[in-house]
Structure 1
């Protein structure tokens, strides 16, 4: 399972980075932009580091609020989840949450 998580995070961060850089390019060219919801979705799905890195490198959406705040929130959530997962605390919690949901249905 660890391999899948690592591969997912690499992929999500690459996609998030590329989308942010592409949105910056489209903004400069005056083309149709990538919706902020799509950018934030990839940050939420594990690509927060890629989103923030691209924002800093290409200087895009760094001061736009509440977008910049949500990028940081998703980054901290990713960090907390990775720490919980690394120390083996996330899987038991998820298992009990899934068992609770199964019992409720």
Structure 2
């Protein structure tokens, strides 16, 4: 079970990073863009660290307050949820 969770979050975080890189590349080329809703959904479903890394590695969406505030808030909420679940399992 643990290996499956590690794989799940690894894939989603890599996907988040690649989505940010791809969207930045498309923005430069004036091509079809990845919707912001999609980027947030990837983050919500577990790829938030990858999206955050992508924001700062490729300098993408760093001037959009919805991302600058929203992605760290998602990470905070996910961390709190994980701690609560861990506490329930450990008791």
TM-score range, shorter chain: 0.7 to 0.9
Radius of gyration: which is bigger? 1
C-alpha deviation, 1:83, in angstroms: 2.7
TM-score of the superposition, structure 2-length normalised? 0.88
Q: TM-score, normalised by structure 1?
A: 0.77
Q: How many residues align?
A: 91
Instruction: Tell me what 2:12 maps to.
Output: 12
Query: Where does structure 1 lack aligned partners over 5 or more consecutive residues?
Result: 93-105
Distance of 1:20 and 1:91 partners within structure 2: 36
CA RMSD for the aligned pairs? 1.9
Aligned partner of residue 66 in structure 1, secondary structure: helix
Question: How far, CA to CA, are the matches of 1:35 and 1:22 in structure 2?
Answer: 12
Which protein, 1 or 2, shows the higher relative CO under an 8 Å CA cutoff with sep ≥ 6? 2
Query: How far apart are 1:82 and its partner, in Å?
Result: 2.8
| Counterpart for residue 41 of structure 1 | 41
